[in-house]
Structure 1
Amino acid sequence: MSGAPGLLARRWRLGLALVATTLLVSGCAMLPADFERQPSSAIAASAETTLGRIAKASSPDPDLSGFRLMPGGDFALDTRLQLARRAERTLDVQYYQIENDETGRYFLRALRDAALRGVRVRLLMDDLYTSGEDELLLALAATPNLELRLFNPFPAGRGSLLQRFSSSLFDFDRVNRRMHNKLFIADGAMAVAGGRNIGNQYFTQTAGANFLDIDTFVAGALVKRLGSLFDLFWNSPYVRPIGTVVASPLPPAELQQRFEQATGPANTPAPRPPAPNDVLGYAPLGPALKDGARLDLIWTLAEAYADAPDRVVGKTASYGGVPLLDVDSVRYNVIEQMRRSRSEVTLVSPYLIPGKAGLEVMREIRGRGVRISVVTNSLAATDEPVVHTGYRRYRPDMLRLGVEIYELSSARTKRSVRLGLFGSQVGRLHAKSAIFDRRALFLGSMNFDPRSDTHNTEIGLFIASPEMAQQVLKLLEVLKQQGAYRVRFAEGGEKLEWVTSEDGADQVLTVEPDSKLWDRLMLELLAPLAPESLL
């Protein structure tokens, strides 16, 4: 989920928006009449492109996929920009949120520049966070070779989130369902996937609250599968070209001039270059791509899944009226990997609400002696405070099962020297990952909560690599030691304690760490107003 500012821009906007709309709405806006759809398909990798040649030369086996984890925001942003600059045929780009800040505008300009070089650019955005950005996006869409489509668009109220929900009261179940996927594919040969949206705070480009997140660079066999998953959404009936949702009275030339001004150096400075090496010891990919060198990647077997766009209308597979398991959903495959685990499972999610079903899975595998460790945000670190009310309902149950719980501390990450991901900036967890038996890794856009389970669409990669699993576990170990609290029951009871180790001695807190009394009081007031199904 995004960290966009404002209470209604957070996940708990849904409950408040319902109250507001009952006062504001006398009717319900509708999308314009249907239009002629123009389907298109991903372009396969080819040795005729530079990226295609590098990918082929780097691969030891056509059935394997190559990966490089990118926990550092500067590396993750630079990799996307390098791919955009070097693409020769096609860019397929899919994001839940692209913020109108320096990073977001610079990213959009890189896509525009690629289109002007003759690259076919297909940009798919969820429509939730495009409020007030219609002119910028229409200007981008006026670029030759670039098409911008919106997933599940709002029919009216384009200026603000409140107006959007106010105009869709009787269509609330539809507009509450969003595309949370994040995917970037260049020339059908290389890709970036993971948990990051596009904005300053996702790439440590701001002095304020930055997110701890993780992406992976991908080459090889899996990229074709990722292209087919992109096509599934791009050609979906729930996707519309932006021009069929909103129009501008300005001619294309003037729109393009406004885009040039908004994204030019005066308003959109270039991001700082990446460091010489990231926390895993990798150098930036740019020089290797420039030289055409063989890429140093981890090659292994992998699979990718995405939830069906049909979630927009609540459609699920059934036979004779009986719901069937959605074996292609991200959640189903994460749960199956948990059930197949024999020794340990580590879950990483900024918004963690296991629900009764998730709790039963934990109980099942704990009954077989499987160790479970979870890493999530503390109250002070989360950007979704009402979601924390859902999480804390399950915190005692997880502890009773013997689940190890670690909560990220903004204050501790700020002080940590070893983490090195935030410097003096405030850290918030945004990564979505799972490690199974230290041998396999899930990485994607899915949070472990009801919204990702039933309302949002998600994408996830399942990578059979002990080496990558160990890399993530090492990052988490540093995070646990220097950036988190371990939650436990106090001796002889079930009162919660938050424990850290400072200078070799345990320090124990008995209230939510780093939080103010007002924060805790607000949480108590909001908890009854937060239905779990909407979190």
Structure 2
Amino acid sequence: MNRINSCNSLIWNWRNVKNDLPKYTYFFSVGAKILQLFGIGILVSACSTVDLEQSYPESHVIQNTQQTSLGQLAKRLSANKKADQSGFYALTEGVEAFALRLAMAETAEKSIDLQYYLIKNDLSGQMLIHSLLQAADRGVRVRILLDDIFTQGYDAGMLALESHPNIQIRLFNPFANRKFRGLDFHRVAQVNRRLHNKSFTVDNQFTIIGGRNIATEYFAAHESMNFHDLDVLSVGPLVSEVSAMFDQYWNSRPAVPVTAVASNKGQDLALELQRMHERLAQTWQGAKNSDYGLAVLEDLERFSLHINQQFFWAPYTLVYDAPEKGLKSEAKNATNIVSALGEAISQAEHSLVIISPYFVPLKDGIRRLQALHDRGVAVTVITNSFKANNHSIVHAGYAPYRKRIIQTGAKLYEAKADTQVNDAERLKIGDSGATLHTKMFVVDNKAVFVGSFNFDPRSANLNTELGVIIYAENAADAALKSIRESLNDSTYEVVLSEDNKLQWLERSGNQMKEFSKEPGSSAWERFKLNILGLLPIRSQL
């Protein structure tokens, strides 16, 4: 109450100052009007906040799901398997990754728990929300934990979904100002911390974790640009660990019910939910008969026919940040995924391959690469080229480190921007390009990490991240083989010339092209990149 009274007093005093201004200044000075609006905006924003100390009702994973259809399937697949092993299936193709999410949602009987950095209001997002609504109508409890960074304009829809008795939505580290996010600038140290985890768990029996958000570009459905990405579908004891992790986040202080921050504003939620049902049903019917919808059904049928042969079983370690990393006041002491990843990488004896779309090693990362090389470990780094990177500011932060990466003895490759998704012809998406979004590393031929973690300061220090380290030679060998086979067609090798300048080598069969500048870039683009590189923000990338 004291805070509210204080804010009211500030606003009242501002109004008095305004009234005391000479009339000609107030009525005829545009500058005064702008200052007035700006001043009131500052005062209002200073009064707007989100109470992260507020406690909300807890909920937890539904445990007794063994008799569900997925529970019975998991039991058959897990028969005679070791207790410390889980089953894994790599989702390398976007269509299949989407098909299995839809299939899991449509098969759910008890619960669906999902957490994502981004769910777009596009074809993929609408199809998934339709499946979640259908599940909720069947009595399935649906919990959606969504980072709040890209939800602007979604409040009405989220409130309508939340009005369903079986759907709950929480926002991670939400903005107080729902319409003008910039007015939360006084909380920038807090709202700069985002949920980057990605998991989709059904009936506590199967889960998908990895690098994909929910949007068309992650599932080979975008007409102009898609992502090469990677998830794993898992069954076995890992699933219960993912559910326990989800509960930690769901019941954490940064996770706030959407109803606590979004205003209803007289909206008829029942009517809006009904309209949403109708709109999504129309989208669903149209999508089912499209080239994309037919491809989804094909992949789902193929997977179902051979499901017993799809999974490989291996020991694993689930790695993730504690949700308290999302709180500025507690982040320093929160469990951090970096420790677990660093330990896994330190076990490398012969080779380490790092694939990260955004790679900003900073000085400490360079030292670690040098230490690995000095121990005899052959290091390979694969990241995006300038034209393939969808975040120019991140590329500007990475570019100054390229020489130093190569000087450590590591091999450096940059993904091309003109590669296509594997399903381009089947999906009839023509010249749609694809950029790297996979986050993984392979240690020797014995361990593979798959998850949401980028090798950059933001993943290490600001965002919460999630992934799994799988200890399996067959998985590591398969990953390394796939990487080797695609290097020439999909990447440039970045090397240093005799006069210590960067060169990009493009190999095709026995032919090789050399580039002395960022391939495909103009002088103006390179100039802008150099200017961006001067900004003192690398710790935020």
TM-score tier after normalising by the smaller chain length: 0.7 to 0.9
Segments of structure 2 that go 5 or more residues without pairing to the other structure are 1-37
Residues 1:313 and 2:331 aligned together: no
Seen in structure 2, the aligned counterparts of structure 1 residues 34 and 505 have a Cα distance that, compared at 3 Å, is closer
Seen in structure 2, the aligned counterparts of structure 1 residues 285 and 403 have a Cα distance that, compared at 3 Å, is same
Alignment of 1:63-142 (within 5 A): 63-142=84-163
Aligned length, in residue pairs: 494
Alignment partner, residue 235 of structure 1: 251
Alignment partner, residue 207 of structure 1: 223
Amino acid paired to 1:256 = L
Once the two structures are aligned, what percentage of the paired residues are identical? 32
Residue 77 of structure 1 aligns to a residue whose secondary structure is helix
Seen in structure 2, the aligned counterparts of structure 1 residues 400 and 186 have a Cα distance that, compared at 3 Å, is same
CA contact (8 A) 1:90 1:120 kept: yes
Residue 282 of structure 2 aligns to a residue whose secondary structure is coil
Alignment of 1:442-481 (within 5 A): 442-481=449-488
Could you give the per-residue CA deviations for residues 435-454 of structure 1, whole angstroms, max 9, x where no partner exists? 00021100000000000010
Q: CA deviation at 1:312?
A: 2.1
Residue 460 of structure 1 aligns to a residue whose secondary structure is strand
Q: CA deviation at 1:329?
A: 2.5
Could you give the per-residue CA deviations for residues 438-484 of structure 1, whole angstroms, max 9, x where no partner exists? 21100000000000010000001010011111222233223312111
Alignment partner, residue 165 of structure 2: 144
Which of 268, 272, 277 is the equivalent residue of 1:255? Answer: 272
Seen in structure 2, the aligned counterparts of structure 1 residues 261 and 37 have a Cα distance that, compared at 3 Å, is same
Q: CA deviation at 1:274?
A: 3.4
CA RMSD of aligned residues (A): 2.5
Could you give the per-residue CA deviations for residues 138-184 of structure 1, whole angstroms, max 9, x where no partner exists? 1211112110111100001x23xxx21x2111110000100000000
CA contact (8 A) 2:59 2:251 kept: yes
CA distance in 2, matches of 1:519, 1:398: 23
Residue 224 of structure 1 aligns to a residue whose secondary structure is helix
Residues 1:521 and 2:538 aligned together: no
With the length of structure 1 as denominator, give the TM-score of the two structures.
0.87
Q: CA deviation at 1:284?
A: 4.1
Alignment partner, residue 416 of structure 2: 409
Alignment of 1:26-425 (within 5 A): 26=43, 27-28=45-46, 29-31=48-50, 37-44=56-63, 46-59=65-78, 60-61=80-81, 62-156=83-177, 158-159=178-179, 163-164=180-181, 166-248=182-264, 249-266=266-283, 269-270=287-288, 271-274=292-295, 284-287=302-305, 294=308, 296-315=310-329, 328-411=335-418, 413-414=419-420, 424-425=431-432
Alignment partner, residue 5 of structure 1: none
Amino acid paired to 1:307 = D
Segment of structure 1 superposing worse, 37-46 or 231-240: 37-46
Alignment partner, residue 540 of structure 2: 534
Residues 1:502 and 2:520 aligned together: no
Amino acid paired to 1:263 = L
Amino acid paired to 2:449 = F
Amino acid paired to 1:193 = I
Seen in structure 2, the aligned counterparts of structure 1 residues 483 and 50 have a Cα distance that, compared at 3 Å, is same
CA contact (8 A) 2:220 2:423 kept: no
Segment of structure 1 superposing worse, 55-64 or 439-448: 55-64
Residue 383 of structure 1 aligns to a residue whose secondary structure is coil
CA distance in 2, matches of 1:343, 1:185: 35
With the length of structure 2 as denominator, give the TM-score of the two structures.
0.86
Seen in structure 2, the aligned counterparts of structure 1 residues 240 and 264 have a Cα distance that, compared at 3 Å, is same
Amino acid paired to 2:531 = L
Residue 469 of structure 2 aligns to a residue whose secondary structure is strand
CA distance in 1, matches of 2:175, 2:404: 39
Segment of structure 1 superposing worse, 508-517 or 229-238: 508-517
Residue 529 of structure 1 aligns to a residue whose secondary structure is coil
Tell me: higher relative CO, structure 1 or 2? Use CA pairs within 8 A at least 6 residues apart: 1
Q: CA deviation at 1:45?
A: 5.9
Residue 342 of structure 1 aligns to a residue whose secondary structure is coil
Seen in structure 2, the aligned counterparts of structure 1 residues 208 and 341 have a Cα distance that, compared at 3 Å, is same
Q: CA deviation at 1:525?
A: 2.0
Amino acid paired to 1:347 = I
Q: CA deviation at 1:394?
A: 1.2
Structure 1 outlier segments of 4+, above 6 Å:
21-24, 275-278, 415-423
Could you give the per-residue CA deviations for residues 99-140 of structure 1, whole angstroms, max 9, x where no partner exists? 010111111111111111001111100000001111121121
CA contact (8 A) 1:434 1:443 kept: yes
Seen in structure 2, the aligned counterparts of structure 1 residues 92 and 416 have a Cα distance that, compared at 3 Å, is closer
Seen in structure 2, the aligned counterparts of structure 1 residues 425 and 219 have a Cα distance that, compared at 3 Å, is same
CA distance in 2, matches of 1:407, 1:344: 19
CA distance in 2, matches of 1:77, 1:398: 36
Residue 264 of structure 1 aligns to a residue whose secondary structure is helix
Segments of structure 1 that go 5 or more residues without pairing to the other structure are 1-20, 318-322
Residue 57 of structure 1 aligns to a residue whose secondary structure is helix
Amino acid paired to 2:119 = I
CA contact (8 A) 1:214 1:431 kept: yes
CA distance in 1, matches of 2:151, 2:59: 24
Seen in structure 2, the aligned counterparts of structure 1 residues 357 and 121 have a Cα distance that, compared at 3 Å, is same
CA contact (8 A) 2:295 2:426 kept: no
CA distance in 1, matches of 2:165, 2:491: 48
Amino acid paired to 1:305 = V
Seen in structure 2, the aligned counterparts of structure 1 residues 36 and 439 have a Cα distance that, compared at 3 Å, is closer
CA contact (8 A) 2:254 2:327 kept: no
